[in-house]
Amino acid sequence: MDVETLGAIGGAMSRAATPLALAAVGELVTEKAGVLNLGVEGMMLAGAVAAFAVTVATGNPLLGILAAMAAGMLLALLFGVLTLSLMANQVATGLALTIFGIGLSAFVGRDFVGTPLTALAPIHLPVLSDIPLIGPLIFGQDPLVYVTFVLVGGVSWFLMRSRAGLIVRAVGENHDAAHALGYDVIAIRYRAVLFGGAMGGLAGAYLSLVYTPMWVENMTAGRGWIALALVVFATWKPWRVLVGAYLFGGVTIVQLHIQGMGGAIPSQLLSMLPYLATIGVLVLISRDALRIRLNAPACIGKVFHPES
């Protein structure tokens, strides 16, 4: 392994991790407010197709990204109406949202299959991007990689340091107490769910505009589920979401490199590595039972009704 290969691995890792981290950090806020939305895959697909369609139509990827976030929020709103206003079961509604999102995105995207699109170019900082190893990893990435860091930092600050974030956590921890204190539990949860939708949509936009600028049906290929698992992996801590996404992306890229070197291990067994590594690291960081219990929102998935 020379420095250049390590740099390539680092660059590829951060790109593979970005959609996972975006979707996961949105879901983390949703779950911190006490709502479990399993429809991440559906929201990502809606975002991916909206971003692609709008960018093709207008030629403006920024509009595409905004459309993706709007599409993700629209699906999240549907989820919110069902689970928050009509108090439907969150697990089932989230899964139904994924089915709906897969179908809807395929339907909307039918005319875009086989349409090319120019990708958002990575930012090339002369000198800095050319530093071996650090260059490709830290500089010379596409803008959304940096935006992801900012978003994760922002979410971390918001939840841990801001008054509004404290209220969100209180609502997820004990909605009856928060209600008794006069907070509008449902309104706060709506906002958290919508934020989750926007992030899921943004993650989808990253896939269809930057990562692989195209539209093919079901192009998220299960990344929404990985994002859901990463929230659990992170024990509901924003920075750990990023660590988890980079770990998962990193192991994925490394196993491909091992394959490319022509090892004797069957590729299926190598492909298991990212999943096994995530389990292994989770086991390592989960042993402190008390601290995890403090992080997990106690009211997650529970229906709130002020009279009950």
Partner 1 sequence: MSRSSRFITLEARPEPSALWVWAAPLLAVGLTLIAGGLLFAALGKDPVAALAGFFLKPLSSLYGLGELGVKAAPLALIAAGLAVGFRGGVWNIGAEGQLTMGAVVGGGVGLAFLESTGPLVLPAMMLCGALGGMAWAAIPALLRTRFNANEILTSLMLTYVAQLLLSWLVHGPWRSPSGFNFPETEMFGPAATLPVLIEGTRLHLGVVLALVVVGAIWVLLGRSFIGFQIKVMGLAPRAGAYAGFSQRRVIWMAMLLSGGAAGLAGLFEVAGPIGQLQPAISPGYGFTAIIVAFLGRLHPLGIVFAACFMALTYLGGETVQMDMGLPLAVTGVFQGMILFFLLAADVLIRYRIRLGRAASAKAL
Partner 2 sequence: MRTSIIRMLVGAALAAGLATGGAQADEPTKVGFIYVGPVGDFGWSHQHDQGRQALEKAFGDKVKTSFVESVQEGADAERVVRQFAAGGYDLVFTTSFGFMNPTLKVAQQFPKVKFEHATGYKRSANVATYAARFYEGRYVIGVIAGLTTKSKVVGYVASFPIPEVVSGINAFARGLHSVNPEAQVKVIWVNSWYDPGKEREAAETLIAQGADVLSQHTDSPAPVQVAEEKGIFAFGQASDMSRFGPHAQLTAIVDNWNEYYIDRVKAVMDGTWKAEDTWGGLAAGMVHLAPYNAALPADVVEKAEAVRKAIVDGSLHPFAGPLKNQAGQEIVPAGQVLADDKILSMDWYIEGVQGQLPK
Residue showing tokens 């096994």: 276
Closer residue to partner 1 in complex, CB, 144/230: 230
Choice between 78 and 253, CB closer to partner 2: 253
For partner 1, which is the closer residue by CB, 18 or 98? 98
Q: Which residues are at the interface with partner 1 (CB under 8 A)?
A: 78, 82, 86-89, 91-93, 95-97, 99-107, 110, 186, 217, 225, 228-229, 232-233, 235, 266, 268-269, 271-272, 275-276, 278-279, 282-283, 286-289, 292, 305-308
- Least distance to partner 2, CB of residue 168, Å: 31
C-alpha count within 13 angstroms, C-beta hemisphere, residue 106: 11
Binding positions for partner 2, 193-232, rule CB under 8 A: 207, 211-219, 221, 223
Residue 259 touches partner 2, criterion: CB under 8 A: yes
Question: Is 132 near partner 2 (CB under 8 A)?
Answer: no
Judged by beta carbon, residue 147 or residue 302, the one nearer partner 1 is 302
Q: Which does 180 bind (CB under 5 to 8 A by kind): partner 2, partner 1, none?
A: none
Q: How many residues bind partner 2 (CB under 8 A)?
A: 41
Q: How far apart are CA 286 and CA 279, in angstroms?
A: 10
Q: Which does 252 bind (CB under 5 to 8 A by kind): partner 1, partner 2, none?
A: partner 2
| Residue 4 binds partner 2, judged by CB under 8 A | yes
**Toward partner 1, which CB reaches closer, 134 or 221?**
221
How many C-beta atoms lie closer than 10 Å to residue 226's C-beta? 25
The span from the CA of 178 to the CA of 99, in Å, is 33
- Other beta carbons less than 10 A from residue 145's beta carbon: 21
How many CB atoms neighbour CB 127 within 10 A? 8
Kindly write down the DSSP assignment for every residue of 171-190, as one continuous string: HHH-HHHHHHTT--HHHHHH
Label residue 5 exposed, middle or buried (CB < 10 Å: 0-12, 13-18, 19+).
Answer: exposed
Look up residue 228 and give its two tokens: 């859901």
Please report whether residue 264 would count as binding partner 2 according to CB under 8 A. Answer: yes
Residue in the structure block whose two tokens are 């004990």: 174
> How far apart are CB 211 and partner 2 at their closest, in Å?
6
- Is 307 in contact with 176 (CB distance < 8 Å)? no
